[in-house]
Each structure stands twice: as C-alpha cells, then as structure tokens.
Structure 1
Amino acid sequence: MSIGHSVLITGASTGIGAAYAERFARRGHNLVIVARDKVRLESLAERLRTESGVEVEVLQADLTNPSDLAVVEDRLRDDNRIGVLVNNAGAAQSGGILQQSANSIERLIALNTTSLTRLAAAVAPRFAEAGGGAIVNIGSVVGLAPEFGMSIYGATKAFVQFLSQGLSVELAPKGVYVQAVLPAGTLTEIWERAGIDTSAMSDLMEVGELVDAALIGFDRRETVTLPSVHDIERWRALEMARLQLLSGVQQAHVAERYQTAP
C-alpha cells in the first residue's frame, strides 16, 4: 500500500488550519479541508485552486457531531491518497471550572480530545500498514501551565501532547511520523469565540509565522515543536527531569516518607 500526496486538515476555514492549507498547497499537496463553515471553506478552496493549481475538496463537518465525525473517520480509513492528517480543529474556553457549564465542558472535550483521538486512530492503522504518513496534532503551551487558570482547556491540550508523544513511541518504528505543535498565544478567531478580549493579550503571534515555524519542525521530524520557546534547552531539561523521575519509580512498596504516619 502506498501513501498518497493529499493532506486532510480539520478546522481549516480560518486561523491555523487555513494557514496550514495555504502552506501545504504551496508545496503542491492536494487538500481535503474540513470545518463547519462551508462558505468559508469554499472560498478558501477556490483561492487555493487558483493560486497553487492543486485539488482542494471541501468536507463540511462538525466534529462534535458523532455522525459528522464518522464521515471524516471513514475518509481517513479508506482514502489512500491522504498521507498527512493535521488535527487542528479545537476551541478555547475562558475561566476555570467554576465558570463552566456541563454542556460547555462536554463540547470542549469532544472537540479538543475525543475527535482528535478518533481521527488519529482512524488513520493510524492504514499509515502503519503502509509504513509511512504523518499525523500533526495542534496542542498548546497552556497544557504545560495549570497556573494560567484555564484548567479544562489546558487539560485537553495536555492530553494532546501526551497522546502525540505516546503515538510517536508506538508508530515511529512503523514509519509513521507524529508531531505535537504547542503554540503560545496566536492571533486567531479562537479567542473571540471563547469570549476572550485579545486587546488585553500582549504579544500574540501572527498565524502565518506560527505555521511556518511548525512546518520547519515538521520537516525536521520533531516530536514536539514549540515555536515560541527560544531556549530549547529548557524543554530538553524538562524532558530529562521527567525521565529521571520515572527511573525512580519503584512500585513494590510505597516510598519511605509514606511509611510513617505524621
């Protein structure tokens, strides 16, 4: 089985997803672009066909809707032309758990974690059998920072990072590349939709700059790409500390500090 030239991008109507579509089109890749807003998708598709001469298919889907999600899953399982999945669709959520409703929590988790996981799981077996392909998952540095006070949103992004690193361990030996991209604050509509005033947020990165950096990481085959982190040794130190912590886990008995009651 061969891996195709096409790229499927979720959340492609605006922001990071649209920028990925532009960049991959410039590289000569055919596209399947997925989002809820069909009008915007059609407009983007027409522009990219004209500018880059690539094939662009529009697939309207709300990934929090199980039937829509299943359509995209089936496409990823069955279409051998698709060789890259960009799992970009997501939402932000302002405030902590005291400000959230059950419905808003459920929708956030469905979009940011459940749909992303299911789409990766749908395409991974085909990629593994073919010995190639790439899965790009868009996370956030907020997943590293519970201090930011966006606990549920941050938890979904921490999930994306862990999942991506775990999938890389599983799939890299089979020739499948998995990348987690962790942006910091980026100037997209995601904040407005979450009711967050971007005028109060300083130093937001322009979306094109973010995606260009992420694609350099993609070309370098980085497992985790942190476009806004200037000193990469800090990330490497964090990963080393994590591995050192794991090396000290001894599960036969509790640690000595817990063997005596206070």
Structure 2
Amino acid sequence: MTKQTYLVTGASDGIGAVYADRLARNGHDLVLVARRADRLAQLAERLQRETGVEVEVLAADLSNAEELAGIERRLREDSRITGLVNNAGIAGETRFLEADIDHLTTMIDLNVLAVTRLSAAVAPRLAAAGNGTIVNITSVTALMPASFTATYPATKAYVLAFTEALAAELGPHGVKVQAVLPGITRTPIWTEEQLAGLDPEMVMDVEDMVDAAMAGLRMGETITIPALPNSGDLDDYLSARTALHPNLSRRQPAARYLA
C-alpha cells in the first residue's frame, strides 16, 4: 500500500484498535479518535515505539455535535489525511417495546449521523485529489434485521446502503470505498458470559476479522463479509436485487392490488 495518513474512529479498543495496529504495521501514519484519551495514548505510544509511524490522538465523543464538528474540521482541512475508517458505534439495544429512547437516539447519532458527516467532510477533498480511502464498518445484521433488535440493524443497513451509493459516486474519482460487515466478533462489545453462550464456530477473533477486511480492500471489494465462505452467494444476492429494478417504479399498481 502507498503510505497514507488514516483517521480511525472508535480506535481505543476492539476493531478500531486492531485497524490502527494493522495500518501502522503497513507504514501508515494515524490520527486516532475515541472518547477514552488514556487508552488512545497507550495505543499511540505502543504503535509509535513498535512501528515508527506518527500517531496523533484526538479524544472526542462523536455523539456530541460540538466534538463531532471538531473532527469534521480536521478532515476537511488536513490534506495529509487520505484515509478514513468509520468504526465508532454502539449496540446494547433491548427489544423495542422496552427500549430506552435516549440510548437509541445516541446510537443513531453515532452509528448513522457521525458516519455521514465524517464522510461528507473528507469526500470532496479526496475526490478532488483523485485518491483516498473510506472504510465504513457496518454489520451482517444489515442483511438480516428480523433476526435481531429493531434499531441497531437499521443503523447498519443505512451504513451499507450509504457506502454502496458512495462507492458508485466516488469510485470514478479514484476513491476507494468499502463496507465491512462483521458477524459476531470477539471485542469488548460482548461480555465473556455472552460469548460463552454462543456456538464458538460463530465467533471470529477480531484480528482475523480485520485482516480479512483489509484483504478485501486490497482486492477492490465494495462489500466485504469476512465470514462468508462463498463470495458467489453475495453476488447472487446483489444480482437478485438488481433484477428488481425495472419493476420497482411503474405507471400502474401491480395487478394484485387492483382486484
């Protein structure tokens, strides 16, 4: 990979921290964003010591409008940043009938609004330069919402659709755009008790997940599902969806609605 500077959100642990590690070991400089300044500082010190890259730490809560705006300004103004990994997000949702609406609002702010605004901050500059990378971490729940809770899969479905549309728009300008759809991944978002109750064959180590995602980026994939054994299954899904297009907007209602 050509050396870039990547801004990684949610970088203090889990998927974001592993992305930071892998990007640093590929020689990329980093700007790491998360709420926990202490954890970011520890990670930055280790990566600088072990890899020699430059690592800057920005403590910010991206569900806070003012703090989000500060990261947006950095992405708009710093021409050195040519890569963005939108990883920050939260889950922890109950059934909708018992949901805490304030928690769901924060989830939407972080999982949807922050991803959109950070992408919007950097995309025009990358397109004008004719290069750059945007990676959005979504989830396999985007493809199976009825199997989970209501709001979290909906936020991830937004990120998937957003990323596909962004790839179509920015690809001709030389910008790589990728959606990564992890399944159950061994990160702090899960407790050990929760993981112990799952089939171990369903749980991927976070290092393996990120390594697969980065391989997918190198392969030029717009959608990467690290656990999917046969990529042809995704191709079939996308082809079936595309086959609907000619009949999704027509002058008359379908005959079944006219009886």
- TM (normalized to structure 1)? 0.94
Deviations 1:185-214 (A, max 9, x none): 00101134xx98222222311000000000
1:198 pairs with 2:190: no
Task: For structure 1, list consecutive stretches of 5 or more residues without a partner in the other structure.
Answer: none
Task: For structure 2, list consecutive stretches of 5 or more residues without a partner in the other structure.
Answer: none
Once the two structures are TM-superposed, the CA of residue 234 in structure 1 deviates from its matched residue by: 1.2
Match of 1:55 in 2: 54
Match of 1:211 in 2: 210
Distance 1:201 1:139 in 2: 21
1:1-262 counterparts in 2 under 5 A?
A: 5-192=4-191, 197-203=194-200, 204-260=203-259
Displaced runs of 4 or more, over 6 A: none
Once the two structures are TM-superposed, the CA of residue 101 in structure 1 deviates from its matched residue by: 1.3
The residue type equivalent to 1:123 in the other structure is: V
SS for the counterpart of 2:244 is helix
Once the two structures are TM-superposed, the CA of residue 62 in structure 1 deviates from its matched residue by: 0.2
SS for the counterpart of 2:43 is helix
Distance 1:247 1:230 in 2: 30
The residue type equivalent to 2:126 in the other structure is: F
Distance 1:236 1:92 in 2: 28
Cα distance change of structure 1 residues 156 and 196 upon mapping to structure 2, 3 Å threshold: farther
Once the two structures are TM-superposed, the CA of residue 174 in structure 1 deviates from its matched residue by: 1.1
C-alpha contact (below 8 Å) 1:87/1:137 kept by paired residues: yes
Once the two structures are TM-superposed, the CA of residue 99 in structure 1 deviates from its matched residue by: 2.2
Once the two structures are TM-superposed, the CA of residue 149 in structure 1 deviates from its matched residue by: 2.4
Once the two structures are TM-superposed, the CA of residue 4 in structure 1 deviates from its matched residue by: 7.4
Higher mean Cα deviation, 35-44 or 183-192? Answer: 183-192
The residue type equivalent to 1:24 in the other structure is: L
Distance 1:250 1:116 in 2: 29
- TM (normalized to structure 2)? 0.95
C-alpha contact (below 8 Å) 2:185/2:209 kept by paired residues: yes
Distance 2:249 2:32 in 1: 47
C-alpha contact (below 8 Å) 1:135/1:177 kept by paired residues: yes
Distance 2:9 2:196 in 1: 27
- Alignment size in residue pairs: 256
C-alpha contact (below 8 Å) 1:95/1:149 kept by paired residues: no
Higher mean Cα deviation, 71-80 or 91-100? Answer: 91-100
Deviations 1:95-115 (A, max 9, x none): 321121110110110110110
Cα distance change of structure 1 residues 140 and 129 upon mapping to structure 2, 3 Å threshold: same
Deviations 1:148-184 (A, max 9, x none): 2222101111111000000011111111111000000
Deviations 1:67-114 (A, max 9, x none): 110010001001000110000001112332112111011011011011
Distance 1:169 1:13 in 2: 31
